[in-house]
Amino acid sequence: MSELEKAFHKFAVYGDTAATGNDMTGKNFSKMLKECGVMDGKAVTSTDVDIVFNKV
Protein backbone atom coordinates (compact mmCIF):
# COMPACT_ATOMS: atom_id res chain seq x y z
CA MET A 1 0.00 0.00 0.00
CA SER A 2 1.43 3.37 -1.01
CA GLU A 3 1.79 6.33 1.35
CA LEU A 4 -1.05 8.07 -0.50
CA GLU A 5 -3.37 5.09 0.02
CA LYS A 6 -2.44 4.95 3.71
CA ALA A 7 -3.18 8.65 4.14
CA PHE A 8 -6.52 8.32 2.32
CA HIS A 9 -7.54 5.38 4.50
CA LYS A 10 -6.50 7.19 7.69
CA PHE A 11 -8.68 10.19 6.90
CA ALA A 12 -11.53 8.11 5.43
CA VAL A 13 -12.09 6.26 8.72
CA TYR A 14 -11.39 9.24 11.00
CA GLY A 15 -14.26 9.75 13.45
CA ASP A 16 -16.40 6.93 12.02
CA THR A 17 -15.97 3.49 13.55
CA ALA A 18 -18.27 1.95 10.92
CA ALA A 19 -16.30 3.33 7.95
CA THR A 20 -14.56 0.87 5.64
CA GLY A 21 -11.93 3.31 4.38
CA ASN A 22 -13.05 3.00 0.77
CA ASP A 23 -15.10 6.22 0.77
CA MET A 24 -14.50 9.59 2.37
CA THR A 25 -16.96 12.17 3.67
CA GLY A 26 -16.71 15.80 2.68
CA LYS A 27 -15.81 16.70 6.25
CA ASN A 28 -12.88 14.28 6.26
CA PHE A 29 -11.77 15.40 2.79
CA SER A 30 -11.65 18.97 4.04
CA LYS A 31 -9.71 17.89 7.14
CA MET A 32 -7.20 15.99 5.02
CA LEU A 33 -6.55 18.95 2.72
CA LYS A 34 -6.23 21.33 5.66
CA GLU A 35 -3.75 19.10 7.51
CA CYS A 36 -1.74 18.52 4.32
CA GLY A 37 -1.42 22.28 3.80
CA VAL A 38 -3.48 22.43 0.61
CA MET A 39 -6.31 24.46 2.13
CA ASP A 40 -4.83 27.67 3.49
CA GLY A 41 -7.97 29.77 3.79
CA LYS A 42 -6.74 32.32 1.25
CA ALA A 43 -5.83 30.74 -2.10
CA VAL A 44 -7.85 27.59 -1.34
CA THR A 45 -10.81 28.01 0.98
CA SER A 46 -13.20 25.57 2.62
CA THR A 47 -15.81 26.63 0.05
CA ASP A 48 -13.44 25.69 -2.78
CA VAL A 49 -12.82 22.31 -1.18
CA ASP A 50 -16.56 21.67 -0.72
CA ILE A 51 -17.24 22.51 -4.37
CA VAL A 52 -14.49 20.18 -5.60
CA PHE A 53 -15.67 17.36 -3.32
CA ASN A 54 -19.26 17.66 -4.50
CA LYS A 55 -18.24 17.64 -8.18
CA VAL A 56 -16.25 14.43 -7.78
Residue 56 has pLDDT above 90, yes or no: no
- CATH code of 3-54, in short, is 1.10.238.10
Classified as helix, coil or strand, 51 is helix
Residue 44 has pLDDT above 90, yes or no: yes
> What is the Cα–Cα distance from 21 to 8, expressed in whole angstroms?
8
By the 8 A CB rule, do 34 and 44 touch? no
Q: What is the pLDDT of residues 8-37, one digit of tens each?
A: 999 999 998 889 999 999 999 999 999 999
